[in-house]
Chains A and B, each alone.
Chain A
């Protein structure tokens, strides 16, 4: 884990409200594992106060840089979206636990909802590294074609790829979870998912039914990012005991069986 001043070396708009940011940071580039995130301070001042968490989408060890795919939703992302390349940002990372590797058997299915594609691109890239011969299916769902951000990057690291949009503007029409059941039937060894909480809940439900291991990347509003403030918890249950676990430290990747989806349905999501 590092905390240091880095430079935004490139910022590219990759869709309406979507930006690909590249930061110069050899330490994070060398250390980051798929599923981990960075915690970015968007200002040198104290308002907005808190750092903003973003999944690492990829690293370039040779260049010493890493990328983040960002959707503009509020004040902090707006500031990042407007930053000139060359701007310095204070970054902590890599943080969180990262994805558990899949077991030796079966194909891997990656289920991405919107901006949730970012850590899955990183994961697929890693799974394909020399020695990795895993067959990877990517399912990428979003509201419309505009929101299928970086689908080329994603499809490029998958062996099979499906785009799904709610409005049918590109690919298949429907929800990404409508297209998961057939995959689960054909020898899938492990599912990885990242996207809106309700999508993850549905993925988890389907995987549980099909008895396929499933890992999800969770979100929660964050304070410290390192496990100290206990601000970022989600409800979990394991071995019959319910408790609150930290997204920043015990996650952001959770075994889908451990997450207390019912409690999450009752309203524990950030917004």
Chain B
């Protein structure tokens, strides 16, 4: 069964979420692939997984305003969250703000959002950055929006657990402070990963290939999740699943 690159990435993320120690995953704004993965993991896990998609109201039960995501995470009620970065380095520091010598930047991006907090309080942060290049994966980020590691005196229950790109899946070991290549996606090689990564990481002797999505997973994704994610990301759903937007927001008073 053929699949689109987005479907492959959704499958990789879904498998990361379908783990017994993850009971509630929250997905930030403008994250259609993580959002679809969260809904698919929920469906395939028999609705055991709670999913909150901050973008819009469709899969968002929060009723206490913009701070509820952060409060909820601070309470320990969110087990998994996704973060990205315009730069990510070998210590899992992430930079969402800009390149250059802050505050004299060469390029400026939106800003750090809630990363500086969520990275500390969500136990399983999945770094998701499809573009796998030396531009993104650098020796040292220019600006630390959120640090990958903290000293022993700092209260921190959260941090990076995995990194998913268009080339591979890595894990992160907070004890040694290093990424480890877990699998390379079909059609790509360890060399390609090494060539395109600007930081050092562990490479085991045998690197398996990332599992391709099963037919059952793809069927669930297309038939069940497509229409759901269309409520939040109509353009994405149209593009990937050829589904046109159904949902309208609820009527107000």
Chains A and B bind each other = no
> Residues of B with Cβ closer than 8 Å to A?
none
> Residues of A with Cβ closer than 8 Å to B?
none
